[in-house]
Amino acid sequence: LAKTTQPISMDSYEGQEVNITCSHNNIATNDYITWYQQFPSQGPRFIIQGYKTKVTNEVASLFIPADRKSSTLSLPRVSLSDTAVYYCLVGETDTGRRALTFGSGTRLQVQP
Amino acid sequence: DAGVIQSPRHEVTEMGQEVTLRCKPISGHNSLFWYRQTMMRGLELLIYFNNNVPIDDSGMPEDRFSAKMPNASFSTLKIQPSEPRDSAVYFCASLTRQGGTEAFFGQGTRLTVV
């Protein structure tokens, strides 16, 4: 299994850009990188997915270097409502459970 | 679409009682996952179905837990007998297609066993 490592917690202020990096040294050729967001008392919500280089959507950007051994989730101009736990997942569901095995996540606290 | 629907939202039961949690995945999704979340252990994958067939149940904690998916629109997770350490939030999630990673989660069932 491609194990992921990400910071336990991060603090930021409103309006700042937040970058959360995830390490996945054992990523396999067919693996995708997926990020989820979870608010208290809710189920996780898909944010973004990528394979290589850069992916951007209306919520975030995902930067993946050429060796794919890490990835960085970038949240532009965070607000208080971005306070949540962010999970990095690596894998593909064809193999059963890998893509949806959640680690400890990064607890982001945004302050005014 | 109403999304993934779980019931009940809250369940309080006494130790030793049978508990059944229910999940209705999004129509057309062919993969379904059951999770358990606690402060101590985080979000644990319990079991995964693909096309109504259990693929991996290695996360099911013990024989007291069982899950079924009799058809594409319904799944149950049963605990019999329940114990206080089973208290947690149980989530169900479904996937659009095999090989995808954009899963949709339900609101969860908060189970308290006293």
For residue A2, pLDDT over 90 is answered with no
For B40, residues 6+ apart whose C-beta sits below 8 A from its C-beta are none
Query: Which 3 state secondary structure label does DSSP give B82?
Result: coil
CA distance A76 to chain B (A): 22
Give the closest of A42, A99, A102 to B107, CB-based: A42
- The verdict on a CB contact (< 8 Å) between A97 and B48 is yes
Given a cut of 70, the residues of chain B with pLDDT beneath it are 1, 97-100
Nearest chain B CA: its distance from A94 CA (Å): 5
Please tell me if residue A50 touches chain B, with a CB cutoff of 8 Å: no
pLDDT digits (tens, 9 = 90+) for A40-83: 989 999 999 999 989 999 999 999 999 999 999 999 999 999 99
Measured CA to CA, the distance from residue B33 to residue B56 in angstroms comes to 10
Listed range (A24-33, A68-77, A94-103) with the worst mean pLDDT: A94-103
Cα–Cα distance for residue pair A25/A100, rounded to 1 Å: 18
